[in-house]
Amino acid sequence: MTNVPSKITYYLEPGFVYVSRQGATVRTVLGTCVAVCLWDKVLRYGGINHFVWPAVTTAAEATPTYGNVATAALVRMMEEAGCRRCDLVAQILGGAAPEPIVGDHVGRQNVRVAREMLSRKGIQIIADDTGGSVGRKIMFDTGTGELAVLKVWRLRASDWHV
């Protein structure tokens, strides 16, 4: 019998960033929030953020709860882990709005900020599952870059916990 180490499973709360050089399964639940998953296609590891609001403009309030801060932090953490921006690819998820909201709602603003930040950093977006009116439960494998998305009509309180 071989001794195979168990894979880390991590639940990512809103306002947090997670990067792992080792394989980990990161789970989170998104409504209007957005998650950006980064994957280094050369070094073969990744990271993810989960933010609630699009942008903050004052340094005193800058936390990963905001998309501009969370995305910059994720890129910086990936670089600190040895990644080069030219080797990173991104997947963006979330940004839903309950119907019948129309116009420039917070979910749409969150998606726009994620796209703008990644474009500014020169990171290619290879997948985008955003918008609409349903929530998403996601699982991101930092060791393979694989992503599973389950769309749900109604998020329950229990969905927010491991």
Q: Residue 71: in which H helix or E strand, if any? A: helix 67-80
151 inside domain = no
Q: Is residue 67 a contact partner of residue 34, using CB atoms and an 8 Å limit?
A: yes
* C-alpha dist (Å) from residue 9 to 12, 27, 143: 10, 8, 12
Enclosing domain of residue 48 = 8-145
What is the number of structural domains in the chain? 1
161 inside domain = no
2 inside domain = no
pLDDT of the residue at 99: 72
66 inside domain = yes
150 inside domain = no
Q: Is residue 38 a contact partner of residue 48, using CB atoms and an 8 Å limit?
A: yes
Question: pLDDT digit of tens for each residue in the chain (162 aa)?
Answer: 455 556 899 999 999 999 999 899 999 999 999 999 999 999 999 999 999 999 998 989 999 999 999 999 999 999 999 999 999 999 999 999 877 766 779 999 999 999 999 999 999 999 999 999 999 999 999 999 999 999 987 666 665 554
Give the domain CATH number at 115: 3.30.1330.200
Rounded CA-CA distance 112/124 in Å is 15
62 inside domain = yes
